Chains A and B, each alone.
Chain A
Amino acid sequence: MIATILLQTQSGGKLISKSAEEFGKMDPLGVVMAFIAMTVVFIALILLYLTFKYVAKLYNVDFKKSKKKETAEETKPSSSEEVSGEVYAAIALTLHLYRNQLHDMEDTVITIKKVAKAYSPWSSKIYGLRRTPR
């Protein structure tokens, strides 16, 4: 980094990266860069792939059962004549949800929420009574 700054200063502010020049000399065709960089990109994304492959398995314990049911139901329609309006509705809903960036697991309970309030003496019965009950 310091070398880069020095190089910049010496070249009148124009950025000349020494490491880039050295890399260019060592790999004039760019094949080594392509190989290394693609490997790194793949490693990073393969790790992500493996993680989520197993996260899904761990988290959705009952996933396989429901998946079998779903696939059995969904393999029925094979041609355009057999596709029901429900399928089109489901596709339309999916696209609508996607375009509106909505979650498919939204909490839809928006009413009857219990509200916890701090104690207030204003509504207390004890201050409204003229005599203390025996």
Chain B
Amino acid sequence: MDSSASMWTFLVDHLNKFMEYTSFGNFTFGHLIMIIVGLAFIYLAIAKEYEPMLLVPIGFGILIGNIPFWGAEHVLNKDPQNLQIGLYQSGSVLNYLYYGVRQGIYPPLIFLGIGAMTDFSALISNPKLILVGAAAQLGIFGAYAAALALGYSPAEAGAIGIIGGADGPTAIFLSSKLAPELVGAIAVSAYSYMALVPVIQPPIMRLLTTKKERVIRMKPPRVVSKLEKILFPIIGIMLTCFIVPAGLPLLGMLFFGNLLKESTVTKRLADTAKGPLIDIVTILIGLTVGASTQATTFLTAKSVGIFALGAFSFAVATFGGVMFVKIINLFLKEGNKMNPLIGNAGVSAVPDSARVSQVVGLEYDKTNHLLMHAMGPNVAGVIGSAVAAGVLLSFLY
């Protein structure tokens, strides 16, 4: 009788201990919310095809990061209670993979791939469009000022502001340097709003333009020579990085990738950069950024603020781009004017914001194709946001 009672107690004790180790024993309401967010990302990616390459890894990463387990708070390597499971736990596989985010290794590699797949012809054929990409960076500094007003520290405000650049790798790169504890929230916010560009931008574009402006026809882009395409990355890196060397990791890789493509003699390298390399890094960055959004660290008032400021920065960036085109048009002769509907493309969500220009343009004139023109400010926005990140890094790091 005694032995069966002690056996029972033994079993109950160990079942209780096992229960403590399961996710059910460590589950909180916060984890539930984050799992719902992760599932929503996966749904948007698969059902609505909103940035699936990013939202699937991030969404699944959110699920991984929010499976609760015992001892998540034991993160130090020497701690005997560190089970080396979670992303923040030293020595875990996820922690090693997250190193690329923490140290800003993945974003430049992604930029290498972006450079290798970007055709700057639209920009070279009509260099005026470069300036639209600069104007749209207003969103970054609008959000920076708003973040300061809301009580964020200057470094945090800089990291949050870069969401307005609409460039995920740049946002991760800068926030990993300025506010490492906010990387998850900033990256998720940036990618979420990039996916929502077709929802955010059109109402602002319609609000700021007249019917007459929306049907402006732009001159077709001229054919760009191979030499010009080769010169672009070489001159581009010299001019931008001599002014803002802090942007070197991003701009250097972007222009290097583009030279690999345009030289046409390094096709294999360009193919690797824009194919397998960028795919591998996208998987790693998406998954680890998603996993970094653990409910205990992510569900804070700061994260809510970051989401609000992210939306604000996208709106200001769109405003900046569209208004800049309208102002420039005041100085251009009839026939040379630009359609203000390409102004939104200055935010560097490539190619979604250019696609928005095309779609909105077609609503008002079915024969006016703005896509090729919008690609100019769109790729200029990539350069502009990297330069802006360099400026913020120089001042705030």
Binding site for B on A (CB under 8 A): 4, 15, 17, 19-21, 23-24, 28-31, 33-34, 36-38, 40-53, 55-56, 59-60, 63, 67, 70-71, 74, 77, 79-80, 83, 91, 94-95, 98, 101, 103-105, 107
Contacts and interface: CB of A to CB of B under 8 A. Distances in A.
Interface in B165-192: 178-180
B144 A45 contact: no
Give the 3 A-B residue pairs with the shortest CB-CB distance, closest first. Answer: A30-B145, A24-B154, A34-B141
A44 B154 contact: no
Given A44-B240, A45-B134, A15 B180 contact: yes
A37 B228 contact: no
Nearest to B231: A55
Contacts of B180: 15
Interface in B191-240: 219-220, 222-229, 231-232, 235-236, 239-240
Contacts of B325: none
A4 B219 contact: no
Interface residues of B, number: 67
A70 B222 CA distance: 9
Nearest to A60: B225
Nearest to B236: A48
Contacts of B128: 49
A59 B225 contact: yes
A41 B391 contact: yes
A127 to B, nearest CB: 38
Given A48-B239, A74-B220, A83-B367, A41 B387 contact: yes
B127 A56 contact: yes
A28 B150 CA distance: 11
Given A40-B387, A60-B225, 13 more contacts: A20-B154, A21-B154, A28-B148, A30-B148, A34-B145, A41-B137, A49-B128, A51-B239, A53-B127, A71-B219, A79-B367, A83-B367, A104-B121
10 contacts: A20-B153, A29-B145, A37-B392, A40-B244, A40-B391, A45-B383, A48-B127, A80-B367, A98-B372, A103-B226
Contacts of B148: 24, 28-30
Interface in B319-336: none
Nearest to A104: B223
B317 interface: no
B387 A45 contact: yes
B62 interface: no
Contacts of A91: 369
A118 B30 CA distance: 72
A30 B383 contact: no
A21 B148 CA distance: 12
A16 to B, nearest CB: 8
A79 B180 CA distance: 55
Interface in B130-145: 130-131, 133-134, 137-138, 140-142, 144-145
